[in-house]
Amino acid sequence: MAGKTLFWFRQDLRVSDNPGLWQAAQKGPVLAVYIHDEEHLKDFKLGTSSRWWLHNSLTALDKSLENNLHVYKGSAQIIIMRLIKEHALDAVYFNRCYEPWRQEQDAVIKAALEKKGIECKNFNSSLLWEPSEVLKGDGTPYKVFTPFYNNGCFKAGIPGIPLPAPKTISYIKDTSSFAAIAELGLIKNKESFEGIAQQWNSGEKAAQKRLNEFIKKDFVGYSEGRNFPAKNNTSRLSPYLHFGEISPKQVWHGVNCKAVKKTIPAVDRATFLKELAWREFSYSLLYNFPTLPRENFNKKFNGFSWQTNSSFLEAWQQGKTGYPIVDAGMRELLQTGYMHNRVRMIVGSFLVKNLLLHWHQGEDWFWDHLVDADLANNSASWQWVAGSGADAAPYFRVFNPITQGEKFDSNGEYTKRFVPELKKLPVKYLFKPWEAPQEVLKSAGVVLGKTYPHPMVDVSESRKRALDAYIKLSKG
C-alpha cells in the first residue's frame, strides 16, 4: 500500500517546481496543509501588506489544488502531530525555509517525528543554491558579494531544471478540524488594500504571467532602465519569489532559454541574473549569520550615535520630508505596497544618514508595508544602506535626494505621480522647490509649509553630521 504523506506548504505556494510536493505525490495520497503559526516570530510577525498577499495567495493555491488545501492556525508541531494520529500518516514532507526561527522549529519537529518513526524529508525549493553549497575554499561563508557571485555561485554549477507540476495528486481529506482561509484573519479591512489590489494579483498563475510579461515587454534595456523609477524595466517578481509562487529556478531558466537569448541583450540578462544572485547572497548571510535581522553585522556600529526623533520618523513614513523624490517613494509604498529599488536606496540613505535614525526603524516600516517583505533581503539591504552590513555601502556614500531625483527622474514623471501637489512645478525646481521664485510657486499652486512641507533638514548640513558621526565611530 502506498504511504500517506502530509505535505506542509510554507513559502512555496505553488504546484510546479515544488520538489516536496512532487515527491509526496509520487509516494502516494497527500494531505496538503498550510499552518499559520506566528508563535515563534516575535518582532517579525507578518506585516500588514504581507498578510493581504498571503490571503490571496492561499486562495489561489487552494484553487489550483482543486480545493484540497487545508489551512490551520496555531502551533505547527501540535497540529502536525495531531493530523498524523488522526489520518494514520506515514511521512511529513516540506520545503526548507531559512529564517532562524524556522530553522530551529524545523529541527524540533523533525526530531519529534523521527522519534515516533515518522519519515520526515525536506527539500530546497526557494534558492538556486543551498547556502552550504556556496562557500569559500576554507569552508567559511562569503561576506563580500562579488567573490560570492564570481567564485561561489559559478562554481556551484548551473541550477537544476525546474520540475513540472505533478500529473495527478491523490488527496486526503480532513473534514473535521481545518479552517477556511478567511478564518485565519489575515485581512481585517479590505478597503484599506484597494490601492495594492489595483497593482497586484497574487498566485502562481499571476507569477508566471508576470515573468512572461517581463521577458516580452520590459527586459530589453533592463541594465540601464532598472535605475529609473518611471520606466517599466523592473521584473516586479520579488513578492512572487518571497511567497514561492514562482521558484528562482523557473526565473533563472526562463530568462536563459534559447528564445530569450536571441532577443534580449547579454548585458540585460547578465545584470538581471546578478540581481537574482544578490537575493542568494542575502539568504547566505541570514543562514550563516542568524542575528543579521537585529544585530549590526559590523559590531563597531554598536557604538553609533543614532538619534531619537519621532516627528522626523513620522514625516519620513508619511512622505512629508520636503524632499520630493523621498516623499514620492514613501507614498508609493503606502499606496501600492511596493517601492522601486533605486528609490529604496534613496529613502533608506535619507533615514539613516540625513536623519541619523536607526536602520531598525526603516526595516520595521518596510516589513509592515512591503508586499515583498523578505527577512533576508530586508535585513541585508538596510544594513547595506546603514554601512553596518556585509559588503556595505561605505560610510561616506550618502545619496543626495536632489541630485538623485534630477538624475533618475529627470522629467519628474515618477515624482509628480506620487506627489501630485507639485505636478505643475517646473522640473527645474521639482527636486528643490524651496529654490523656486515666489511667482513660480504661486503659478504652480504651491505654498511651502502648507500645500507641501519645507525640507525637514538641510542635505549638506545633515550629510556633514552623518560623516562626522561615522568618522568618530571609525576612530573609536
What are the distances in angstroms from CA 199 to CA 128, 186, 371? 28, 19, 11
DSSP state of 290: T
CATH architecture entry for 299-475: Orthogonal Bundle (1.10)
Residue 365, all three cell numbers: 516600516
Regions in the chain scoring below 70 on pLDDT: 1, 392-393, 476
Amino acid at 5: T
Strand-pair partners of 94: 8, 122
Cell numbers 504651491 correspond to what residue? Answer: 446
Residue 379, all three cell numbers: 535585513
Amino acid at 254: G
Of residues 158, 132, 121, the one with CA closest to residue 22: 121
Q: Are 69 and 32 in contact (CB under 8 A)?
A: yes
Q: CB 35: neighbour CB atoms within 10 A?
A: 20
Catalytic positions? 275, 278, 306, 341, 359, 382
* CA pair distance 465, 353, nearest whole angstrom: 8
The CATH T-level fold of domain 5-124 is Rossmann fold (3.40.50)
Provide φ and ψ at 253, rounded to 5°. Answer: -75, -25
Boundaries of every domain in the chain = 5-124, 127-161+204-288, 299-475
Residue 66, helix vs strand vs coil: coil
Burial-class residue 151 by CB neighbours within 10 Å (0-12, 13-18, 19+).
middle
The pLDDT assigned to 476 comes to: 60
Q: Which residues are within 8 A (CB) of 280 and not within 5 positions of it... i.e. 6 or more apart?
A: 127, 128, 129, 134, 148, 153, 248
Helices marked H in 248-300: 248-256, 258-263, 266-288
Rounded to 10 degrees, what is the CA torsion of 8, 12, 18, 20?
Answer: -30
Of residues 29, 374, 346, 344, the one with CA closest to residue 168: 29
* CA pair distance 415, 427, nearest whole angstrom: 10
DSSP state of 36: E
CA 60-63-68 angle, 5° bins:
120
The pLDDT assigned to 38 comes to: 87
Which H helix or E strand runs over 81? helix 76-87
pTM greater than 0.75: yes
Strand-pair partners of 112: none
* CA pair distance 245, 238, nearest whole angstrom: 10
Residue 119, helix vs strand vs coil: strand
Q: Are 63 and 14 in contact (CB under 8 A)?
A: no
Q: Are 264 and 219 in contact (CB under 8 A)?
A: yes
Q: CB 121: neighbour CB atoms within 10 A?
A: 16
The pLDDT assigned to 393 comes to: 67
Q: CB 468: neighbour CB atoms within 10 A?
A: 11
Of residues 419, 417, 410, 475, the one with CA closest to residue 446: 419
DSSP state of 292: T
The pLDDT assigned to 41 comes to: 79
The pLDDT assigned to 475 comes to: 72
Burial-class residue 139 by CB neighbours within 10 Å (0-12, 13-18, 19+).
exposed
Q: Which residues are within 8 A (CB) of 50 and not within 5 positions of it... i.e. 6 or more apart?
A: 370, 371, 373
Of residues 120, 123, 166, the one with CA closest to residue 3: 120
- Domain 127-161+204-288: give its CATH code: 1.25.40.80
Strand-pair partners of 35: 72
